[in-house]
Every structure is written in structure tokens, then in C-alpha cells.
């Protein structure tokens, strides 16, 4: 008998617990043998213990095959406490160097671009996830005075660029054979230039992939004007972050978008999470869209060797997007739970 898939559920803050409850329901409907454990980390944990997660959190997480995270963030705590104390700590501590975000418009979900539909929006973003502009290197001096200085350094390493760029090439080869690399190397002279060189060098090993180097601002415009011309995009930490929020809008909003944080071929558990945050404005109302969390569950299944189950979850999500029920952010009236139950029922039917 195969070993059960060990998944840590980390519901976190705000709408996190609401969407993770539905993701769990769907995961359990797949019939995949599971061992699930909830980790009560996040802002409530911080209030009790003065930290977002226990000291040995990385060790605990390494005991699982994957982590499914809801959201972190709390209006009463500074973002750098919640973000650096949990999400960035996990990404960097586990060296989850690739952030994978599919941006596909599911049929039935309204697109904000007039006249565009699912045929126009089907992109895959691979974002560098541990260095670049979010390395956390820098400092401040002369705080609070008129002479105050803040320095935030971007750190680009050849090895760090190379692994994520090659991973993106592999995806481009599997899809349409086109890779778009987004930088700003006309204005920044060092980090993005190294990135460009690494892309050119790696391209030699992927002759079947056509590469285009596009400045990030021009790419933002193209995503709006001609999204169908874009397939796989590889970008640094900051640029990937910004581009994928634009992409999330194109695919129906933050409630729909999913992501995977992975360290391919390392054996390290991946961290899977919806792109949205804790959404305090709708938390506790039972109206959050669980699609992003459920889609993240499909990514989790795909990355842990359960491609069939992942495909069943995606086709159930597609069916719910097309025929309902849908939450109000995507034009419906259903509750978080109604969507979760409907998707889980379709997954169970297909199992
Ligand atoms: P945080 O500080 O945790 O990132 P935030 O409010 O700044 O919180 P989000 O939580 O991503 O950022 O929310 C941005 C907007 O998107 C809010 O109006 C929120 O209601 C909406 N939103 C986020 N997630 C969902 C969801 N799952 N379903 C519906 N709407 C959502």
C-alpha cells in the first residue's frame, strides 16, 4: 500500500480558515489517502506566544509532504511581523525558490477586459521566490531625523537565477514553447543584467523554446492589451509579485488565483496558498471565494504525484465556474461553503 499523503493545513488569519475548510473538504473528496494535521499558527498564535509560529516550525513542516496555507495578516499587527514571521520565513527557511502561479480565466468567470475570454487568458508565471528585491538585506540609519537613510539591497546570485530560469524553460517546453523573461535591465545595471545573461546561457539548452526579453512595464501593458500573446513568464521576486496581481485581476480577481511555492527535485515540502490575503473586509461573513484555495489544492496534488486527482479537482472547479454555484466576487450569490460542497461533490462523483 502506498503511504498516505501527509499535508499540514495552516489556515492562518481572516478568511484563511474559511477557505481552507473548503479546500480540505475537496482534498478529502479526491479519495487520495491522506494524513491531515492543522497547525494553529498565525496572528492568534502571535498574541499568545509573541511569535507567528513555534521556534521549531521549519522542522515540524519538514515532516510533511506539503503545506496548505490560507492567509496571514492582521490589521492590528504590522505586515512585516506577519509576513516575515510566517510566510517569508517558510519560503526562505525551506528555500522554496520557485513560486508558480497559473493565471487562467475559467469559462464562466467574468474577465475585466471587454471582449476577452478564456482563450485570451492562459498564462503561467514562474517567480523567483527567495532572493532579488525581497532578500531582506539593508538597513536604516538616523531614524526619525531629516537625515534618515534607508537602504534596501536586491540580491541576485547566478545560481539563484539559473535554477528558476531553467525551471521556467522546462514549463515553456511543455506548453507553447515561448518563454517571456521580464526585467528592467535598461534602468538597473547589475542584478537584471546578470538575470538576462543567465537566461541567454540557459536558452542554449532549450533550443525548442523561443525566448523574449521584455521590460516589466511594457509587459504590464501587453498583459492588458494582448494577453493571448503571453504564455510562460519568468520574473524576479518583486516583478513576479506585481505581474501576478495583474494576472489575478485578468483571471477574475484575487479570490480565484492560486500559487505553489516549491523547491523542485529537493524533497522539501512545498507550500501551496491562494494568492489573496486575509481579506479582513469580508472575514467571518462566509462569502470569501474558496476557488484560489481549492485551485492551490490541485497544485499541491499535482506537485506531490497525484496528477489524476489534481485534474479531477480542476474539472470540478471549471464546472462550478461555468454552471455555479459562485461567490459574489465572481458574479454569484453563493456562500464559501456552498461552493466548497459543490466542488467536493463533483470531485467525489468523478472519483
Ligand atoms: P492582507 O493584508 O492580509 O493582504 P488585504 O485586504 O490587504 O489583506 P486581500 O486580503 O488580498 O488584501 O484583499 C484584497 C481585496 O480582495 C479585498 O477587498 C478582499 O475582500 C478581496 N478578496 C481577497 N480574497 C478574497 C476571496 N477569497 N474572495 C473574495 N474576495 C476576496
Please tell me the distance between residue 10's alpha carbon and the centre of ligand 1 in angstroms: 18
Ligand 1 atom nearest 279 alpha carbon = 10
224 and 186, same domain (yes or no) = yes
69 and 129, same domain (yes or no) = no
Provide the pLDDT confidence category of residue 80 given band limits of 50, 70 and 90: confident
Read off the pLDDT of each residue in 202-218 and give the average, rounded to a whole number.
98
**What global pTM score does this model have?**
0.95
Is pLDDT at 336 greater than 90 in this prediction? Answer: yes
Contact 121, 105 (CB under 8 A): yes
Range of the domain at 197: 122-250
Please tell me the distance between residue 71's alpha carbon and the centre of ligand 1 in angstroms: 9
205 and 239, same domain (yes or no) = yes
240 and 336, same domain (yes or no) = no
171 and 55, same domain (yes or no) = no
166 and 190, same domain (yes or no) = yes
Answer whether residue 105 is part of any domain.
no
304 and 200, same domain (yes or no) = no
52 and 127, same domain (yes or no) = no
Question: What confidence score (pLDDT) does residue 88 get?
Answer: 85
Cα dihedral 305/171/318/344 (nearest 10): 20
d(CA 91, CA 271): 8
Answer whether residue 109 is part of any domain.
no
Handedness of CA 314, 318, 319, 324 (dihedral sign): positive
Grid coordinates belonging to 2: 502506498
Please tell me the distance between residue 294's alpha carbon and the centre of ligand 1 in angstroms: 16
Ligand 1 atom nearest 280 alpha carbon = 6
1 and 86, same domain (yes or no) = yes
Please tell me the distance between residue 252's alpha carbon and the centre of ligand 1 in angstroms: 13
Ligand 1 atom nearest 13 alpha carbon = 3
Residue 100: helix, strand or coil by DSSP? strand
268 and 148, same domain (yes or no) = no
Is pLDDT at 81 greater than 90 in this prediction? Answer: no
Grid coordinates belonging to 251: 483571471
135 and 180, same domain (yes or no) = yes
Beta-bridge mates of residue 101: 125
Question: What confidence score (pLDDT) does residue 136 get?
Answer: 87
Q: What is the pLDDT of residues 310-332, one digit of tens each?
A: 999 999 999 999 999 999 999 99
Grid coordinates belonging to 248: 489575478
The number of folded domains in the chain is: 2
Answer whether residue 117 is part of any domain.
no
Which domain-ending residue is among 250, 271, 290? 250
Question: What confidence score (pLDDT) does residue 79 get?
Answer: 85
Question: What confidence score (pLDDT) does residue 84 get?
Answer: 84
Contact 347, 312 (CB under 8 A): yes
Instruction: State which of 81, 83, 279 you would mutate to test the pocket of ligand 1, scoring each by most atoms of that ligand within 8 A of its C-beta.
Output: 279
Question: What confidence score (pLDDT) does residue 282 get?
Answer: 97
Nearest residue by C-alpha to atom 31 in ligand 1: 255
Q: What is the pLDDT of residues 270-296, one digit of tens each?
A: 999 999 999 999 999 999 999 999 999
Which domain-ending residue is among 220, 250, 280? 250
150 and 194, same domain (yes or no) = yes
Which domain-ending residue is among 229, 250, 271? 250
Angle between helix axes 158-174 and 191-203 (nearest 10 degrees) is: 50
Cell 527567495, residue located? 130
Is pLDDT at 2 greater than 90 in this prediction? Answer: no
- Lowest-pLDDT range, 74-83, 134-143, 331-340? 74-83
Ligand 1 atom nearest 274 alpha carbon = 27
Residue 25: helix, strand or coil by DSSP? helix
Choice between 155 and 186, residue whose per-residue pLDDT is larger: 155
Grid coordinates belonging to 133: 528585491
Choice between 2 and 34, residue whose per-residue pLDDT is larger: 34
Q: What are phi and psi of 323, to 5 degrees?
A: -110, -5
d(CA 189, CA 6): 45
Choice between 83 and 282, residue whose per-residue pLDDT is larger: 282
Residue 14: helix, strand or coil by DSSP? coil
Instruction: State which of 11, 254, 258, 286 you would mutate to test the pocket of ligand 1, scoring each by most atoms of that ligand within 8 A of its C-beta.
Output: 254
Q: What is the pLDDT of residues 156-204, one digit of tens each?
A: 999 999 999 999 999 999 999 999 999 999 889 899 999 999 999 999 9
Question: What confidence score (pLDDT) does residue 142 get?
Answer: 98
Please tell me the distance between residue 277's alpha carbon and the centre of ligand 1 in angstroms: 5
d(CA 270, CA 334): 31
Question: What confidence score (pLDDT) does residue 92 get?
Answer: 87
Answer whether residue 108 is part of any domain.
no
CA distances from 122 to 116, 223, 233, 344 (A): 12, 11, 11, 24
Question: What confidence score (pLDDT) does residue 1 get?
Answer: 58
Catalytic residues: 134, 184, 217, 241, 245
Read off the pLDDT of each residue in 137-151 and give the average, rounded to a whole number.
97
The set of protein residues with a Cβ atom below 6 angstroms from ligand 1 is: 15, 19, 71, 73, 254-255, 276-282, 288-289, 292, 329
Nearest residue by C-alpha to atom 15 in ligand 1: 279
Answer whether residue 23 is part of any domain.
yes
- Average pLDDT taken over every residue of the chain: 96
Answer whether residue 104 is part of any domain.
no
Question: What confidence score (pLDDT) does residue 199 get?
Answer: 98
Pairing of β 258-262 and β 98-104: antiparallel
Domain with residue 26: its CATH number is: 3.40.718.10
Answer whether residue 256 is part of any domain.
no
Helices and strands (H and E) in the chain: how many: 12, 12
Question: What confidence score (pLDDT) does residue 174 get?
Answer: 97
Answer whether residue 65 is part of any domain.
yes
Amino acid at each position: 500500500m502506498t503511504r498516505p499523503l501527509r499535508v499540514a493545513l495552516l489556515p492562518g488569519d481572516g478568511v484563511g480558515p474559511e477557505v481552507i475548510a473548503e479546500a480540505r473538504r475537496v482534498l478529502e473528496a479526491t479519495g487520495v489517502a491522506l494524513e491531515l494535521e492543522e497547525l494553529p499558527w498565525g496572528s492568534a498564535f502571535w498574541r499568545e506566544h509573541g511569535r507567528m509560529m513555534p521556534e521549531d516550525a521549519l522542522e515540524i513542516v519538514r515532516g510533511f509532504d506539503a503545506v496548505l496555507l490560507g492567509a496571514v495578516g492582521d490589521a492590528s499587527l504590522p505586515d512585516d511581523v506577519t509576513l516575515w514571521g510566517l510566510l517569508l520565513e517558510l519560503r526562505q527557511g525551506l528555500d522554496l525558490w520557485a513560486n508558480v502561479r497559473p493565471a487562467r480565466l475559467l469559462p464562466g468567470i467574468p474577465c475585466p477586459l471587454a471582449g476577452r475570454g478564456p482563450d485570451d487568458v492562459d498564462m503561467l508565471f514562474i517567480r523567483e521566490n527567495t532572493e532579488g528585491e525581497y532578500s531582506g538585506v539593508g538597513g536604516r540609519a538616523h531614524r526619525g531625523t531629516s537625515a534618515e537613510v534607508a537602504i534596501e539591497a536586491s540580491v541576485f546570485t547566478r545560481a539563484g537565477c539559473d535554477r528558476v530560469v531553467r525551471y521556467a524553460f522546462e514549463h515553456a517546453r511543455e506548453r507553447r514553447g515561448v518563454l517571456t523573461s521580464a526585467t528592467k535591465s535598461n534602468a538597473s545595471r547589475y542584478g537584471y543584467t546578470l538575470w538576462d545573461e543567465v537566461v541567454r546561457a540557459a536558452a542554449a539548452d532549450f533550443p525548442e523554446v523561443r525566448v523574449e526579453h521584455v521590460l516589466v512595464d511594457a509587459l504590464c501593458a501587453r498583459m492588458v492589451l494582448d494577453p493571448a500573446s503571453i504564455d510562460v513568464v519568468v520574473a524576479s521576486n518583486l516583478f513576479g509579485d506585481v505581474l501576478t496581481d495583474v494576472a489575478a485581476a485578468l483571471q477574475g480577481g484575487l479570490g480565484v488565483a492560486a500559487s505553489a511555492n516549491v523547491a523542485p527535485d529537493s524533497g522539501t515540502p512545498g507550500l501551496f496558498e491562494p494568492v489573496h490575503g486575509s481579506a479582513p473586509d469580508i472575514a467571518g461573513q462566509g462569502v470569501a471565494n474558496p476557488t484560489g484555495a481549492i485551485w492551490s489544492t490541485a497544485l499541491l496534488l499535482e506537485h506531490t504525484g497525484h496528477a489524476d486527482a489534481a485534474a479531477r479537482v480542476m474539472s470540478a472547479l471549471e464546472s462550478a465556474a461555468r454552471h455555479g454555484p459562485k461567490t459574489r466576487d465572481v458574479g454569484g450569490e453563493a456562500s464559501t461553503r456552498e461552493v466548497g460542497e459543490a466542488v467536493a461533490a463533483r470531485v467525489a462523483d468523478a472519483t
